[in-house]
Amino acid sequence: MKPLQTYPRFVSIEGGEGAGKSTVINALRSVLEAQGERVVSTREPGGTPLAEMIRDLLLDPAHEPATPETETLLMFAARAQHVRETIVPSLESGAWVLCDRFTDSSYAYQGAGRGVDAAFIATLERDCVGIVPALTFLLDIDVAAGRARMHSRGGAPDRIERERDEFFQRVRAGFLHRAEADPRRFRVIDAAQPMDVVAAAALSALEAYRA
Rounded to 10 deg, the angle between the 165-181 and 143-153 helix axes is: 120
Burial 70-96 (b: 16+ CB within 10 A, else e): ebbbbbbbbbbbbbeebbbebbeeebb
d(Cα 57, Cα 74) in Å, to the nearest integer?
8
Distance of CA 169 to the CA centre of its chain: 17
Of 148, 166, 195, 209, which one interacts with ligand T5A (CB under 6 A)?
A: 195
Out of 3, 65, 194, 211, which residue is the one contacting ligand T5A (CB under 6 A)?
Answer: 194
Whose Cβ is closer to ligand T5A: residue 100's or residue 135's?
100
Binding residues among 41-70 for ligand T5A as defined by CB under 6 A: 44-45
* 45 Cβ neighbours under 8 A, 6+ residues apart: 51, 54, 55, 58, 59, 74, 75, 78, 79, 82, 101
Residues in contact with ligand T5A, total (CB under 6 A)? 25
Phi, psi for 138 (deg, rounded to 5): -105, 110
**Residue from the set 9, 82, 101, 172 that interacts with ligand T5A by CB under 6 A:** 101
Q: Applying CB under 6 A, does 147 fall inside the site for ligand T5A?
A: no
Q: Is 106 in the site for ligand T5A (CB under 6 A)?
A: yes
Using rule CB under 6 A, residue 123 touches ligand T5A: no
* Residue 18 is a binding residue for ligand T5A (CB under 6 A): yes
Q: Which is nearer to ligand T5A, 32 or 98 (CB)?
A: 98
Residue 40 binds ligand T5A, judged by CB under 6 A: no
Residue 45, preceding peptide bond in cis (omega within 30° of 0): yes
Where along the sequence are the contacts to ligand T5A (CB under 6 A)? 15, 17-23, 44-45, 75, 100-101, 105-106, 109-110, 149, 153, 160-161, 191, 194-195, 198
